[in-house]
Structure 1
Amino acid sequence: MSTLPSRSLKGDLRDLALVAGGAIPGALLRWQLDADVVANMLGCLLLGVVLAQASQRKRLMLWAGIGFCGSLTTFCTWMLDLTRALQAGKTGESALLLLASLAGGVALVALGHTIGMLLSPRLRDTPSR
């Protein structure tokens, strides 16, 4: 017997629309930035801010966290950059990109979370919608 909550098609479509609504502007911003590392780091910072507020706000997480930040930051582009650097024999550059992206990404999510908690402490006490 499954213990998963029941889901409705209407609810799933609403959730999908929220993700898509955030993904389009996130992808457009990434395209305009024309710098993959900048886009990834900005997305990590914004994701931290969203995470600080989204624990009780499912719609915010779907739209901003998964949709916007998910399309602003892309794992595949990061891997493509690493692969190209390795194929060009730039082992040191590859290692630096890998370490800087991982450490920088985690640090920026943490910083964004701290900023989000400081900016909106009242949201933690607001009932979910």
Structure 2
Amino acid sequence: MELQLSMVVLEVADIDASLRFYRRLGLDMPDPVAGGTVVAHRMGSGVTLLLTTAFASRYDPTWAPPSGGGYSQMLEFYVGDDDVVDSTWADLVGAGYTGRMPPTRTVGPYAALVEDPDGNVVLLTSDAAASPDAA
């Protein structure tokens, strides 16, 4: 069996704030059940994005939220062409989310970086290789 990435789990401080961000980004995230601490959305690529306020903090006694402004991972979202990168960046930054890099022609794809409410860095890209339709 080939190993597959099936889920990305983000431990978040405020499920509602995270839902506002990812919905604004364009994901059709469901509402949590009343009092729930978990929300999951399976994307067309087959990967599920799961937001939770109580997994790592409950099961890993050494877990602590990241600090210091650094990050060790990025979530890449293929948003379409360069114009969509521009408009998505403008919408998120205009809504008050922290931009780390404005839309830029990198040595690879046209891309921008923005933080979600918990400081997770989201890479917005027009890189065709990241499209769910890429072979």
TM category, shorter: under 0.3
Q: Which has the larger radius of gyration?
A: 1
Normalised by the length of structure 1, the TM-score is: 0.25
TM value normalised by structure 2: 0.25
> Per chain length, whose mean CA-contact separation is higher, i.e. which structure has more relative contact order (CA < 8 Å, sep 6+)?
1
Query: Which structure shows the bigger proportion of residues in helix conformation?
Result: 1
Larger relative strand fraction: 2
